[in-house]
């Protein structure tokens, strides 16, 4: 149950980039909640990415800015420097995850308990998830393996999201199905991505259309990852 409701919608965005500000304006407009997964050692840096023939900014806010930028939403970990954890030793994994979590907790002004695995492809395995479970303060870890499902999951350290935000056909299809769903058991629609990806083909308006569609329903709880997964 989510504050007395059976259905919940939550968003999760990675890397902690300056495009998050525009994303948050849209989310706030529709009273939606998101978790932002941040690499604390990259805060204050400026870079760019070349995607589908387009150069997009990949710049990070300063540490002292994130408490204000992400106010009303959740700050979560994404490792210090975004390495592929499956290639690291146990000691390195713990350092990357826990030191990032502790730094972000200081910047946020509250204990950070969420985490999203960095890098693409198979970016985690059972060894990594168990190391994090047993040696850090993280209470849930999100993968990038979208499963097109609304079902709650028992293993929160290998949590699979419902849908990747740039797959708009699937995003809108799952959204409509979720709105129509009548259920006696808890269901979760979990959307994930990176806000800089909207800049590649200027798909901000499509995303806002989805937010407008999914928002404002009396039978749905809109919360951060922590509020939904740890309720």
Assess if residue 1 is contained within a domain. Answer: no
Question: How high is the pLDDT of residue 220?
Answer: 98
For residue 12, the surrounding DSSP H or E stretch is: strand 7-15
Domain that holds residue 46: 7-229
Question: How high is the pLDDT of residue 1?
Answer: 80
Question: How high is the pLDDT of residue 154?
Answer: 96
Question: How high is the pLDDT of residue 38?
Answer: 98
Assess if residue 15 is contained within a domain. Answer: yes
For residue 206, the surrounding DSSP H or E stretch is: helix 204-214
Q: Give percent of the chain with pLDDT exceeding 70.
A: 100
CATH code of the domain in which 31 resides: 3.20.20.370
Assess if residue 190 is contained within a domain. Answer: yes
- Burial (Cβ within 10 Å: 0-12, 13-18, ≥19) of residue 74: buried
The rounded distance, in Å, linking the Cα atoms of 19 and 199 is 8
CB 216 within 8 A of CB 27: no
Assess if residue 16 is contained within a domain. Answer: yes
For residue 21, the surrounding DSSP H or E stretch is: helix 20-29
Tokens of 95: 């350092």
The rounded distance, in Å, linking the Cα atoms of 174 and 7 is 13
Residue 147 has pLDDT above 90, yes or no: yes
Tokens of 50: 């070349």
Encode pLDDT of 88-114 as tens digits: 999 999 999 999 999 999 999 999 999
- Number of separate domains in the chain: 1
Assess if residue 13 is contained within a domain. Answer: yes
Question: Of 61, 33, 60, which Cα lies nearest the Cα of 189?
Answer: 33
Residues with Cβ < 8 Å from 179, sequence gap 6 or more? 213, 214, 217
Residue 191 has pLDDT above 90, yes or no: yes
Residue 231 has pLDDT above 90, yes or no: no
CB 126 within 8 A of CB 167: no
Residues with Cβ < 8 Å from 107, sequence gap 6 or more? 40, 43, 63, 64, 66, 67, 75
Q: Quick one: average pLDDT of 136-151?
A: 98
Question: How high is the pLDDT of residue 178?
Answer: 98
């Amino acid at each position: 149950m989510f504050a007395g409701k059976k259905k919940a919608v939550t968003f999760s965005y990675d890397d902690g980039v300056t495009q998050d500000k525009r994303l948050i304006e849209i989310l706030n407009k529709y009273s939606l909640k998101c978790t932002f997964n941040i690499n604390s050692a990259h805060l204050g840096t400026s870079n760019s990415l070349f995607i589908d023939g387009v150069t997009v900014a990949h710049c990070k806010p300063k540490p002292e800015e994130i408490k204000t930028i992400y106010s009303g939403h959740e700050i979560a970990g994404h490792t210090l420097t975004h390495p592929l954890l499956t290639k690291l030793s146990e000691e390195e994994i713990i350092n990357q995850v826990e030191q990032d979590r502790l730094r972000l907790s200081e910047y946020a002004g509250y204990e950070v308990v969420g985490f999203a695995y960095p890098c693409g492809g198979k970016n985690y395995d059972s060894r990594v998830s168990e190391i994090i479970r047993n040696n850090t303060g993280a209470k849930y870890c999100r993968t990038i393996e979208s499963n097109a499902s609304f079902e709650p999951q028992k293993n929160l350290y290998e949590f699979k999201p419902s849908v990747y935000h740039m797959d708009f056909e699937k995003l809108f299809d799952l959204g409509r199905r979720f709105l129509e769903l009548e259920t006696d058991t808890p269901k979760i629609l979990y959307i994930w991505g990176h806000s800089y990806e909207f800049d590649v083909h200027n798909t901000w308006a499509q995303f806002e259309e989805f937010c407008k569609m999914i928002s404002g329903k009396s039978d749905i709880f809109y919360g951060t990852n922590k509020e939904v997964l740890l309720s």
